[in-house]
Structure 1
């Protein structure tokens, strides 16, 4: 076979053997790197109909041995930004590592992933509600829907098709605090506050599940109708090991509301600033939490609430929710005992 036929040969082998739709792929850190022809990305993009992106690969400086995921905008999407640089657009819509649609669905709402463009991040969001299976919702990349997931997947290169308005990423795209509205699918203004709380709950539950707090995440899902109408909340959580250890942890699930401070976000700094004796109303009617030791943040003077030592601070912290880890469930304590 002539040397000039090698790219086409590799492409035919890849397409005939390894194109999969919705295939589950392990996270990028667990991949084994393999070399592939330098022109494969351009050849695949061209074959799939992304001629403009295929032409731009020569100037995009991709490594030939790095597993890569490309979110490929259509020509109609590219023309929405006539001043855009196509090579830069390609860099900004490409990630190091393999992110199949299955893996993207498992990411927490608002997850930011660094791209090939320095200091530029893509934001992954979903339209699914916390009560729906992850497979139901649409996946958005910086607010643009993935309309053709897993167009190509050979274990080293994944290509997803995008359809929507395209623009260059902001210098602040890796900063949550300065995230723009383009990072989220558009929602009707009257429901925006409720929508945001729903998404923050979804984000929190996903983060808890991957951090060893899956039972707490399940409890939040059960009480979701009540949690979703709050403006904000602070939750004190117990990890799965403590719940299943046979001690008092099993009582936590039935008393979840007693571990939630509604309509108030208390970060670690806020908690340390509370004086001893501060009462914190909970979702359990008529029951308060009490700061029994204000603490200083040091091991010798730990913060204690209802005499329970805090185990981990700011386990989850977003614009509506703060979650902290604790060692055992809270006991009911009355202020006169302090």
Structure 2
């Protein structure tokens, strides 16, 4: 009979073959990263996060200008947004005509462009498949466009964004930018537009103030979507799947550090990673490899699993990746595999073993002040019962918990 861990692995792999359609305001949309991550050399030099789309103006200005949207084209150089400053993926623009933009004397063309621009690719066909009232996050933090549709005539379904009809769909689509022409323009979006239902009354001042507190989470959601796409294209499809499954939980974090096994390593024996992904996520800390190298032995890193933490068991001692950094006795194989403003992923050789209080003597008594471990109890022989791996024994000495854990609850 197949072991429980193998059954979990097979279930995960079957799920990985299925597209997870999440909501458009969350993990949905068809996203393509502008730059694919590349393997790190053996002598690793830490790389900074990918540069944001600094050439957006060079792309958007000629596209909008050639399509006849001169007002929007002129607004591109002045376009500023916390989201666009870190987003390097594709975008969709719902473009009002020049006459529509000029008809609003008090409107800023830059604001109109910002609130009519959505990160992600949404063609007319894809928009027609969205549920009535689906929210699309715009490049203006905390503000969403609402997509609705009605049964049309022989020409097909009529699609509306905040009540404004798309009259010229798919004017431009090169896989990086989609432009739809709309009849008119969308008025200023409410700070509660990502939560309001179609036809709902305007929000109160208290509701607006409360909603503004959560505007920053929009950037986290975008960065999660970007990381998921990069991981899937870099050989980490199972982790990408797990992040989609746990997207609601991850999107509440300020940032995160994730330790990953690639698909090949999971197939080769790292089955326990499938049921312990949350144990490999450090919440609300963005730790690039350069930051990990500065941590002392005994430093505690909290995880998403309550009461279970990671420990820096060996501190960094040199200038290369082979210089001794170990977390729960496991070395990092490829640092900074994926990194953006809110998510950094490091690849490891095998799943982290769970350390017991009796393992702590092996750290030489160096434990951080916020350690979750009590003073270790001595065994009769004075030897700690531990899962240990070091250069002397390679990785074969490491193991992981063997108790079966439910896939959905433990990811």
In the alignment, is the contact (CA less than 8 A) between 2:330 and 2:348 conserved in 1?
yes
In the alignment, is the contact (CA less than 8 A) between 2:144 and 2:194 conserved in 1?
no
User: Secondary structure, in 3 states, of the residue corresponding to 1:220?
Assistant: helix
Deviations 1:188-237 (A, max 9, x none): 31432444444443333233223322211221232334333333322111
- 2:305 matched to which residue of 1? 284
Deviations 1:29-49 (A, max 9, x none): 9xxxxxxxxxxx99975xxxx
- 1:307 matched to which residue of 2? 329
In the alignment, is the contact (CA less than 8 A) between 1:216 and 1:237 conserved in 2?
yes
Aligned residue pairs, count: 236
- 1:323 matched to which residue of 2? 345
- 1:222 matched to which residue of 2? 245
In the alignment, is the contact (CA less than 8 A) between 1:207 and 1:316 conserved in 2?
yes
Instruction: Evaluate the alpha carbon distance shift between residue 81 and residue 207 of structure 1 in structure 2; reply closer, same or farther with a 3 A threshold.
Output: farther
CA distance in 1, matches of 2:33, 2:325: 37
CA distance in 1, matches of 2:222, 2:233: 17
Unaligned runs of 5+ in 2: 1-29, 36-63, 75-91, 148-160, 196-210, 364-411
Tell me, yes or no, if structure 1 residue 212 matches structure 2 residue 235.
Answer: yes
Unaligned runs of 5+ in 1: 1-23, 30-40, 57-68, 94-98, 106-125, 127-131, 167-184
Instruction: Evaluate the alpha carbon distance shift between residue 150 and residue 277 of structure 1 in structure 2; reply closer, same or farther with a 3 A threshold.
Output: same
CA distance in 2, matches of 1:320, 1:299: 23
User: CA-atom RMSD, angstroms?
Assistant: 5.1
* Counterparts of residues 1-338 of structure 1 (less than 5 Å): 45=68, 72-74=95-97, 75-78=99-102, 101-102=122-123, 137-138=135-136, 140=138, 148=166, 150-152=169-171, 159-161=179-181, 163-164=185-186, 188-244=211-267, 246-248=268-270, 250-295=271-316, 296-333=318-355, 334-338=359-363
In the alignment, is the contact (CA less than 8 A) between 1:101 and 1:150 conserved in 2?
no
CA distance in 1, matches of 2:33, 2:293: 37
Choose between structure 1 and 2 for higher RCO, CA contacts under 8 A separated by at least 6 residues.
2
Identify the structure with the greater helix proportion.
1
CA distance in 1, matches of 2:213, 2:280: 30
Instruction: Evaluate the alpha carbon distance shift between residue 76 and residue 214 of structure 1 in structure 2; reply closer, same or farther with a 3 A threshold.
Output: same
